[in-house]
Amino acid sequence: MNSFYHLCFVVQDLQRATEDLTRTLGVSWSPVRGGKLGPWDYSIVFSLEGPPFFEVIQGPPGSPWDATDGSRFDHIGYWSEDVMADKQRLAVGGAPIEFDACPYGRPFTYHRLDSIGARVELVDIAAQEGFLATWAPQGDAMPVLDLDGSAEP
């Protein structure tokens, strides 16, 4: 089985969501950060514990993280050695591209899996060093998604 590195929740109230996860599961958090992708501003945070990490995002209506209809589990995140090839492989395999951030200069894609009511995220492995520096400075390198089963354990 492939190792995912995070589970993401898209929420209406980031503070409430993180407080609930702390109170009920003992999750601790890195500082919340603001971001911008295309026209959308968002707030994002990752758990200190991981991998797998908890990711919580609050974004505006119409964004890839729109929680207008309610907070929800949104996606499972994987590192990819080749997002361009892997996004096509997932699409051909029945997980169509729902959102592609590559045209915005960001190396990730979301793929819809209607059968589970969630998405799969692919993130280019080149972004892992920055992820670790920002969210998990003491963290170790994480494995990539292996769609053909050829990666060594």
> Which CATH number covers residue 37?
3.10.180.10
- Residue 142 is assigned to a structural domain of this protein: no
Could you tell me which of 95, 99, 118, 119 has the C-alpha nearest to residue 108? 99
Widest Cα–Cα separation across the chain:
42
- Residue 81 is assigned to a structural domain of this protein: yes
Supply the range of the domain harboring residue 63: 6-135
With a CB cutoff of 8 Å and minimum separation 6, the contacts of 69 are none
- Residue 131 is assigned to a structural domain of this protein: yes
Residue-level pLDDT, tens digit, the chain, 153 residues: 579 999 999 999 999 999 999 999 999 999 999 999 999 999 999 999 999 999 999 999 999 999 999 999 999 999 999 999 999 999 999 999 999 999 999 999 999 999 999 999 999 999 999 999 999 998 999 999 988 765 544
Tokens of 126: 């080149």
Half-sphere exposure of 45 (CA within 13 A, CB side): 21
Q: How high is the pLDDT of residue 148? A: 78
Q: How high is the pLDDT of residue 153? A: 43
Q: How high is the pLDDT of residue 2? A: 79
With a CB cutoff of 8 Å and minimum separation 6, the contacts of 62 are 40
Contact 9, 73 (CB under 8 A): yes
- Residue 86 is assigned to a structural domain of this protein: yes
Q: What is the value of pTM for the model shown? A: 0.93
